[in-house]
Amino acid sequence: MANTLLVVGGNQDKTFKKMGDRYELKVLHHPGESKKSGNKKEYQTLINKADCVVVLKGAINRKSMIMVKEICKEQNKTIVYHQGRGVTGAIQSSLAYFEGLSA
């Protein structure tokens, strides 16, 4: 069964999903932008489906980052903060987490 990753931040939805397919990850995405920062219920639904959440710190507003952090804590989900905005870095961050689970 594929692990499910939620990426919050960025705007490369199709690229995230395509790269996830390469590594047998199901990738969910939310842009985390100011105009589309989302509401708590929207984030709760996505985070509930995810095994791991990667936040792209350079591509998300502060309000969204705080909300995602709080929900991850409530749902006991792992959150990984990635400094960049890139797809490869986000996927690599999650792979390090998932590999740690299987070790």
Q: Which pTM was predicted?
A: 0.89
Q: What is the DSSP letter of 84?
A: S
Q: Which CATH class is domain 3-102?
A: alpha beta
95, pLDDT greater than 90: no
Q: What is the pLDDT of residues 48-77, one digit of tens each?
A: 999 999 999 988 888 899 999 999 999 999
Q: What is the pLDDT of residues 2-23, one digit of tens each?
A: 899 999 998 888 999 999 999 9
Q: What pLDDT is attached to residue 1?
A: 57
Question: Measured between alpha carbons, how far is 17 from 43 in angstroms, rounded to an integer?
Answer: 18
* Residue boundaries of the structural domains of the chain: 3-102
Question: Measured between alpha carbons, how far is 80 from 77 in angstroms, rounded to an integer?
Answer: 10
Exposure of 94 in the CB half-sphere (CA atoms within 13 A): 29
